[in-house]
Amino acid sequence: MFLDYQINQNWFAGANLFYTGERKDQFFLTTSTPQTVTLDSYFDANAHVGYHVTEQISVFAKANNIANNNYERWQNTPVQAIQFLAGATFKFDF
């Protein structure tokens, strides 16, 4: 589920929540025969807020994996823990 909201002319915010159920994956160790493994389900949440300084320049802050869940999107590929990002964008408007 995604939600983006324009608070006023300058401020904007949003969030996304998603759930992925149990699923199967292939695990290759040192043998040529892959093993089928079951990956656990997971829930994740992200949020962002930003400010339009001008029509072309915006600044933002974003938080990913807000609940700091420890899960694997793919076998042996864990996601990062909670992550905070900040930045700016410039829109080339020709």
Amino acid sitting at position 22: E
Residue 16's alpha-carbon distances to 11, 27, 57, 82, in angstroms, are 18, 30, 24, 15
Ordered alpha helix ranges (H), 1-94: none
Give me the percent of the chain exceeding a pLDDT of 90: 54
Task: Kindly report, residue by residue over 8-45, the tens digit of the pLDDT.
Answer: 999 999 999 989 899 888 887 776 788 888 888 889 99
Per-residue confidence (pLDDT) for residue 72, from 0 to 100: 82
Each residue's pLDDT tens digit, 39-72: 888 899 999 999 999 999 999 999 999 988 888 8
CA distance 88 to 13: 15
pTM of the model: 0.76
How far is the CA of 40 from the CAs of 36, 45, 83, 92, in angstroms?
13, 17, 21, 43
Q: How far apart are CA 66 and CA 80, in angstroms?
A: 11
